[in-house]
Amino acid sequence: MKESNFIEQAKRAREYAYVPYSKFPVGASLVTDSDEVVLGCNIENASFGLTNCAERTAIFKAVSEGKTNFKKLVVVADTDGPVSPCGACRQVISEFCDKDMPVVLTNLKGDAVTVTVETLLPGAFTSGDMDHERYV
Ligand code: THU
Protein backbone atom coordinates (compact mmCIF):
# COMPACT_ATOMS: atom_id res chain seq x y z
CA MET A 1 0.00 0.00 0.00
CA LYS A 2 1.22 3.49 -0.83
CA GLU A 3 2.24 5.98 1.85
CA SER A 4 -0.50 8.40 0.76
CA ASN A 5 -2.99 5.67 1.58
CA PHE A 6 -1.71 5.34 5.17
CA ILE A 7 -1.99 9.12 5.49
CA GLU A 8 -5.57 9.00 4.23
CA GLN A 9 -6.36 6.30 6.79
CA ALA A 10 -4.84 8.39 9.58
CA LYS A 11 -7.04 11.30 8.48
CA ARG A 12 -10.04 8.99 8.61
CA ALA A 13 -9.13 7.92 12.16
CA ARG A 14 -8.82 11.60 13.08
CA GLU A 15 -12.49 12.06 12.28
CA TYR A 16 -13.35 9.72 15.15
CA ALA A 17 -11.36 11.73 17.72
CA TYR A 18 -13.23 12.45 20.94
CA VAL A 19 -12.01 15.96 21.71
CA PRO A 20 -14.70 18.02 23.46
CA TYR A 21 -12.06 19.84 25.55
CA SER A 22 -9.14 20.63 23.26
CA LYS A 23 -11.11 20.51 19.98
CA PHE A 24 -7.81 19.30 18.51
CA PRO A 25 -8.38 16.00 16.71
CA VAL A 26 -5.38 13.78 15.91
CA GLY A 27 -5.31 10.60 13.83
CA ALA A 28 -2.80 7.78 13.57
CA SER A 29 -2.35 4.73 11.39
CA LEU A 30 -0.04 1.95 12.51
CA VAL A 31 1.14 -0.58 9.94
CA THR A 32 1.94 -4.10 11.13
CA ASP A 33 4.61 -6.38 9.68
CA SER A 34 1.85 -8.23 7.86
CA ASP A 35 0.52 -4.99 6.35
CA GLU A 36 -2.54 -4.69 8.53
CA VAL A 37 -3.43 -1.12 9.44
CA VAL A 38 -4.56 -0.29 12.98
CA LEU A 39 -6.11 3.15 13.42
CA GLY A 40 -6.08 5.42 16.46
CA CYS A 41 -7.51 8.78 17.48
CA ASN A 42 -7.17 10.88 20.60
CA ILE A 43 -9.78 10.24 23.28
CA GLU A 44 -10.17 12.89 25.95
CA ASN A 45 -11.74 12.83 29.39
CA ALA A 46 -13.29 15.41 31.74
CA SER A 47 -10.40 14.44 34.00
CA PHE A 48 -7.92 15.84 31.47
CA GLY A 49 -4.93 13.76 32.51
CA LEU A 50 -6.70 10.59 31.43
CA THR A 51 -6.60 11.64 27.79
CA ASN A 52 -5.17 9.06 25.42
CA CYS A 53 -3.33 10.36 22.36
CA ALA A 54 -3.96 8.99 18.87
CA GLU A 55 -0.56 7.26 18.70
CA ARG A 56 -1.06 5.40 21.97
CA THR A 57 -4.63 4.47 21.06
CA ALA A 58 -3.35 2.81 17.86
CA ILE A 59 -0.50 1.01 19.64
CA PHE A 60 -2.65 -0.19 22.55
CA LYS A 61 -5.38 -1.38 20.19
CA ALA A 62 -2.84 -3.35 18.15
CA VAL A 63 -1.10 -4.91 21.15
CA SER A 64 -4.45 -5.88 22.67
CA GLU A 65 -5.19 -7.79 19.45
CA GLY A 66 -1.89 -9.67 19.56
CA LYS A 67 -0.23 -7.45 16.93
CA THR A 68 3.19 -6.49 18.26
CA ASN A 69 5.42 -6.08 15.20
CA PHE A 70 5.16 -2.82 13.34
CA LYS A 71 6.82 -1.24 10.33
CA LYS A 72 5.37 2.25 10.12
CA LEU A 73 3.40 4.82 12.10
CA VAL A 74 1.67 7.83 10.55
CA VAL A 75 0.33 10.75 12.62
CA VAL A 76 -1.78 13.64 11.35
CA ALA A 77 -3.24 16.78 12.92
CA ASP A 78 -4.15 20.30 11.82
CA THR A 79 -0.83 21.82 12.79
CA ASP A 80 1.25 24.53 11.06
CA GLY A 81 4.04 22.05 10.38
CA PRO A 82 4.18 18.27 10.74
CA VAL A 83 2.59 17.25 14.07
CA SER A 84 4.98 16.58 16.95
CA PRO A 85 4.14 13.56 19.17
CA CYS A 86 4.09 14.20 22.92
CA GLY A 87 6.69 12.79 25.28
CA ALA A 88 4.44 10.03 26.62
CA CYS A 89 3.74 8.79 23.09
CA ARG A 90 7.44 8.90 22.21
CA GLN A 91 8.15 6.63 25.16
CA VAL A 92 5.34 4.19 24.25
CA ILE A 93 6.42 4.17 20.58
CA SER A 94 9.95 3.33 21.76
CA GLU A 95 8.61 0.42 23.80
CA PHE A 96 6.95 -1.32 20.87
CA CYS A 97 8.75 -0.17 17.72
CA ASP A 98 12.30 -0.72 16.49
CA LYS A 99 14.68 2.23 16.75
CA ASP A 100 14.91 2.54 12.98
CA MET A 101 11.18 2.24 12.25
CA PRO A 102 9.89 5.20 10.22
CA VAL A 103 7.35 7.55 11.76
CA VAL A 104 5.58 9.87 9.31
CA LEU A 105 4.55 13.17 10.87
CA THR A 106 2.16 15.17 8.77
CA ASN A 107 -0.63 17.74 8.76
CA LEU A 108 -3.76 18.55 6.79
CA LYS A 109 -1.85 20.84 4.40
CA GLY A 110 0.31 17.92 3.30
CA ASP A 111 3.54 18.91 5.04
CA ALA A 112 5.23 15.66 5.95
CA VAL A 113 8.48 14.55 7.49
CA THR A 114 9.64 11.01 8.11
CA VAL A 115 11.76 10.45 11.20
CA THR A 116 12.88 7.33 13.04
CA VAL A 117 11.79 6.17 16.48
CA GLU A 118 15.33 6.83 17.72
CA THR A 119 15.15 10.41 16.46
CA LEU A 120 11.87 10.98 18.32
CA LEU A 121 13.32 9.85 21.63
CA PRO A 122 17.08 9.47 21.65
CA GLY A 123 18.32 7.43 24.58
CA ALA A 124 14.84 6.14 25.47
CA PHE A 125 14.51 4.21 28.71
CA THR A 126 13.97 0.59 27.71
CA SER A 127 13.69 -2.85 29.31
CA GLY A 128 17.42 -3.30 28.77
CA ASP A 129 18.10 -0.50 31.25
CA MET A 130 16.66 -2.52 34.13
CA ASP A 131 19.22 -4.74 35.77
CA HIS A 132 17.15 -6.75 38.23
CA GLU A 133 20.17 -8.84 39.25
CA ARG A 134 21.53 -5.83 41.09
CA TYR A 135 18.69 -5.86 43.62
CA VAL A 136 18.19 -9.56 44.38
N1 THU B 1 -2.44 14.70 21.01
C2 THU B 1 -2.36 13.53 20.31
O3 THU B 1 -3.32 12.75 20.23
N4 THU B 1 -1.18 13.25 19.70
C5 THU B 1 -0.13 14.10 19.62
O6 THU B 1 0.87 13.77 18.98
C7 THU B 1 -0.20 15.41 20.29
C8 THU B 1 -1.35 15.62 21.19
C9 THU B 1 -3.75 15.06 21.60
C10 THU B 1 -3.89 14.98 23.07
C11 THU B 1 -5.06 15.91 23.31
O12 THU B 1 -6.28 15.22 23.10
C13 THU B 1 -4.92 16.97 22.22
O14 THU B 1 -4.08 16.39 21.25
C15 THU B 1 -4.35 18.29 22.71
O16 THU B 1 -3.18 18.07 23.42
In a domain, 134, yes or no: no
In a domain, 59, yes or no: yes
**To the nearest whole percent, how much of the chain has pLDDT over 70?**
96
Is 128 within 8 Å of 105 (Cβ atoms)? no
Confidence of residue 136 (pLDDT cuts 50, 70, 90): low
Binding residue per annotation — 41? Answer: no
**pTM score of the predicted model:** 0.95
Quote the ligand 1 centre to 89 CA distance (angstroms): 9
Q: What is the residue with the minimal CA distance to atom 6 of ligand 1? A: 85
pLDDT per residue as tens digits for the range 43-92: 999 999 999 999 999 999 999 999 999 999 999 999 999 999 999 999 99
Confidence at residue 4, expressed as pLDDT on a 0 to 100 scale: 87
Dist CA 134 CA 106 (whole Å): 43
Number of domains in the chain: 1
pLDDT per residue as tens digits for the range 40-53: 999 999 999 999 99
Ligand 1, residues at Cβ distance < 6 Å = 19, 22, 24, 26, 42, 44, 51, 53-55, 75, 83, 85-86, 89
Query: Domain of 97?
Result: 3-129
In a domain, 135, yes or no: no
Closest among 123, 84, 108 to 10, alpha carbons compared: 108
Q: In angstroms, what CA-CA distances link 131 with 30, 46, 121, 123?
A: 31, 38, 21, 17
Query: Which CATH number belongs to the domain containing residue 94 in this structure?
Result: 3.40.140.10
Active site residue 55: yes
Confidence of residue 132 (pLDDT cuts 50, 70, 90): low
In a domain, 136, yes or no: no
In a domain, 22, yes or no: yes
| Cβ-Cβ contacts under 8 Å for 44 (sequence gap 6 or more) | 18, 19, 20, 21, 22, 51
Asked if the model's pLDDT at residue 133 lies above 90, the reply is no
Q: What number of other Cβ atoms are within 10 A of residue 38's Cβ?
A: 23
In DSSP terms, 32 is beta-bridged to 70
